[in-house]
């Protein structure tokens, strides 16, 4: 069967065309004259140029010879010129339907909008029986899509055309070239968000909606409407999930409706004074407070529409932003196209650093001893669009360190950055430590850094690159119960200082990072005195994502030293000025079982 798809280069259209091709359709696409349509590159489709607003023979010629038409094209921008929005969305739809009548098209799938129906709550979400929401009166996009849907229904009711209608909610997913739904994700990632609106909406995965549209075309009832929805989330929950997947801090709270309405009113007033239409105004403020929750129950039950978790939609949206160069995070420019080798990167700070660099355009090589965890971490990075290589190995073995460097050279042809993150934590008094624990901690924490740095040093020097050593506040001053750990971390300071003197004249940046106790993964374990694995027993000073952001900033600014916590900075200062005083405080705190000891040790 041959079909025409209008709006084929948009977010939904690009996914729909691919799904139609996968299921055996021959596809012709209608492209606006001069549109680059990069999302359709490489597809076996027939392209014709045309304008929805042209009521002449061009649209009839476009649909001629097709068995069906998917009318997806529309202006969805709430800030577009209202007159143009009405012209494209309503009159353009009329032109397409008339062309289909003239050409004798067998069936038409019209893509409307979920905004044509009253939303509901999470407990009782809106469905196809709801009326047009009064709050949308006067908004060109919402009203024009509603009127276009009613027009399509009339054509079906009057027997002019076999038309079925779908009404998608807010879309996220791949091939978002403009971006469309991905703009919401982009703004959050680039600008951050401490607080958000108390409202929410339904988020749908674009490939699910594309499949729902195909199924409606094949199985839907003439004149009927199918809501194509995904998951209902508050904005705070949604942005929290985006932050969790990308390592960015999510909003801490929801603002009060009064504050949001006041800001909207002020923005509208300023817009009137300046003659410029603000991105946020009184109308948008009211809409942002709404919880536009919908259900796809009808489409799922009658058509078999799939329901993919919103996390997949978010990952694909981020991937699309990166692929089409729409995402520019802080300090992205120094890392674009660079190659970073990060050890101990299957979880924790190592993984968070790899993710942070990948989102800034770096190619990353991640290493770890656990093949299973490393494979899972690589998959997560690749889902975000990262260019990643992974190497299973033990940094304490020079042969493995050489394999890591060789893998980076083979895959990417260079190494610009080495982040020596792999390490082993331990707890136990020196008198109780087994020799094996002492050996293992030294081999990983110190010798591992030496091995990887040595294996990569020629590429680092050639690239005038960067060597970073992840230490700890335990590398600034000693702590009881962590003697060998402190010794290895302190040694990294000496190593970095010596390498800095040797390599700075050759343009190499050498830095050392003193972490505080960092948020740990649930499965993380540390070595006890007898070599047994035990759970960490210290509260977190900072998150892995926060540590990664500070490391990225340090790399971008080529700083030599980063002490992450206030406690670390104060401890280093007191230790330098009055070491005995600091040692006395630590001993008293430990002897008295002060909560401050566990908190800052």
- DSSP secondary structure, 105-165, as one string: -SEEEEE--GGGS--B-SSS-B-TT----GGGTT-HHHHHHHHHHHHHHHHHHTTS--EEE
Mean pLDDT of 462-491: 92
As beta bridge partners, residue 29 has 5, 47
**Chain centroid to CA 397:** 35
- CB-CB contact of 75 with 6 (8 Å): no
* Percent of the chain predicted with pLDDT > 70: 96
pLDDT digit string (tens) for 512-556? 999 887 776 666 777 888 888 777 766 666 788 999 999 999 999
The single residue listed with the structure tokens 């420019």 is: 333
Q: Is the pLDDT of residue 78 over 80?
A: yes
Q: Which CATH superfamily is domain 329-564 in?
A: NAD(P)-binding Rossmann-like Domain (3.40.50.720)
DSSP H helices in 385-480: 398-412, 435-442, 448-463
Winning range, highest mean pLDDT, from 5-9, 134-138, 277-281, 567-571: 5-9
What is the pLDDT, as a whole number, of residue 257? 87
- CB-CB contact of 206 with 172 (8 Å): yes
Domain ranges of the chain: 2-319, 329-564, 566-601
Residue 577 burial class via C-beta count within 10 angstroms: exposed 0-12, middle 13-18, buried 19 and up: exposed
Query: In whole angstroms, what is the distance from residue 93 CA to residue 74 CA?
Result: 9
Mean pLDDT of 293-320: 97
What is the pLDDT, as a whole number, of residue 592? 61
- CB-CB contact of 255 with 195 (8 Å): yes
Same fold for the pair 2-319 and 329-564 = yes
Q: Exactly one of 25, 155, 226, 485 is catalytic; which is it? A: 485
Give backbone dihedrals phi and psi of 128, rounded to 5 degrees, phi first.
-70, -5
Instruction: Please give the CATH topology (third level) of the domain spanning 2-319.
Output: Rossmann fold (3.40.50)
As beta bridge partners, residue 510 has 467
Is residue 235 part of the annotated active site? The answer reads no
Average pLDDT of the residues of the chain: 92
Query: In whole angstroms, what is the distance from residue 44 CA to residue 557 CA?
Result: 47
Residues whose CB is less than 8 angstroms from the CB of residue 208 and which lie 6 or more positions away in sequence, other chains included = 228, 230, 305, 306, 307, 308
């Amino acid at each position: 069967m041959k079909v025409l798809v209008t709006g084929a280069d948009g977010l939904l259209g690009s996914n729909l065309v691919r799904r139609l091709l996968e299921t055996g359709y021959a596809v012709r696409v209608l492209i606006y004259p001069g549109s680059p349509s990069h999302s359709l590159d490489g597809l076996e489709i027939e392209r014709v140029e045309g304008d929805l607003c042209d009521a002449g023979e061009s649209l009839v010629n476009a649909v001629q010879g097709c068995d069906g038409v998917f009318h997806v094209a529309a202006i969805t921008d709430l800030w577009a010129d209202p007159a143009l929005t009405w012209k494209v969305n309503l009159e353009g739809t009329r032109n397409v339907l008339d062309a289909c009548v003239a050409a004798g098209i067998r069936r038409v799938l019209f893509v409307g909008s979920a905004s044509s129906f009253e939303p509901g709550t999470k407990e009782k979400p809106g469905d196809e029986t709801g009326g047009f929401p009064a709050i949308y009166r006067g908004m060109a996009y919402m009203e024009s899509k509603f009127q276009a849907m009613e027009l399509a229904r009339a054509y079906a009711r009057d027997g002019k055309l076999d038309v079925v209608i779908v009404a998608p909610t807010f879309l996220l997913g791949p091939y978002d070239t403009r971006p469309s739904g991905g703009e919401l994700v982009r703004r959050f990632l680039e600008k951050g968000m401490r607080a958000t609106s108390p409202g929410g909406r339904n988020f749908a995965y674009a490939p699910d909606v594309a499949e729902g549209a195909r199924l409606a075309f094949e199985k839907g009832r003439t004149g009927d409407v199918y809501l194509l929805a995904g998951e209902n989330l508050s904005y705070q929950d949604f942005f929290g999930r985006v932050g969790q997947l990308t390592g960015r801090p999510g909003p801490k709270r929801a603002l009060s409706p009064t504050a949001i309405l006041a800001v909207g009113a002020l923005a509208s007033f300023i817009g009137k004074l300046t003659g410029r239409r603000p991105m946020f105004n009184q109308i948008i403020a009211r809409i942002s407070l709404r919880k536009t929750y919908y259900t796809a129950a009808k489409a799922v039950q009658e058509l078999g529409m799939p329901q993919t978790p919103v996390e997949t939609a978010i990952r694909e949206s981020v991937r699309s932003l990166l692929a089409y160069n729409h995402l520019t995070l802080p300090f992205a420019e120094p890392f674009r196209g660079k190659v970073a080798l990060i050890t101990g990167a299957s979880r924790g700070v190592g993984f968070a650093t790899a993710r942070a660099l990948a989102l800034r355009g770096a190619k990353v090589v991640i290493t770890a001893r656990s093949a299973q965890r490393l494979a899972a971490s690589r998959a997560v990075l690749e889902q975000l669009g990262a260019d990643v290589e992974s190497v299973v190995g033990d940094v304490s073995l020079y042969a493995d360190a050489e394999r890591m460097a060789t893998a980076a050279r083979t895959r990417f042809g260079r190494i610009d950055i080495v982040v020596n993150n792999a390490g082993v934590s331990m707890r136990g008094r020196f008198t109780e430590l087994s020799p094996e624990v002492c050996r293992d901690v030294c081999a990983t924490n110190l010798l591992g850094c030496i091995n990887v740095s040595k294996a990569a040093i020629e590429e680092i020097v050639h690239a005038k690159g960067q060597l970073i050593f992840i230490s700890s506040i335990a590398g600034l001053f000693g702590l009881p119960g962590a003697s060998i750990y402190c010794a290895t971390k302190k040694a990294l300071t000496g190593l970095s200082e010596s390498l800095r003197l040797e390599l700075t004249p050759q343009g190499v940046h050498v830095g050392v990072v003193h972490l505080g106790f960092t948020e740990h993964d649930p499965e993380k374990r540390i070595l006890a005195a007898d070599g047994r694995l035990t759970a960490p027993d210290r509260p977190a000073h900072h998150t892995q994502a926060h540590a990664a952001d500070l490391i990225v900033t340090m790399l971008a600014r080529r700083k030599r030293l980063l002490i992450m916590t206030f406690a670390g900075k104060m401890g280093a200062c007191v230790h330098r000025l009055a070491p005995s005083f600091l040692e006395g405080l630590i001993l008293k705190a430990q002897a008295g079982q002060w909560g401050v000891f566990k908190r800052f040790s």
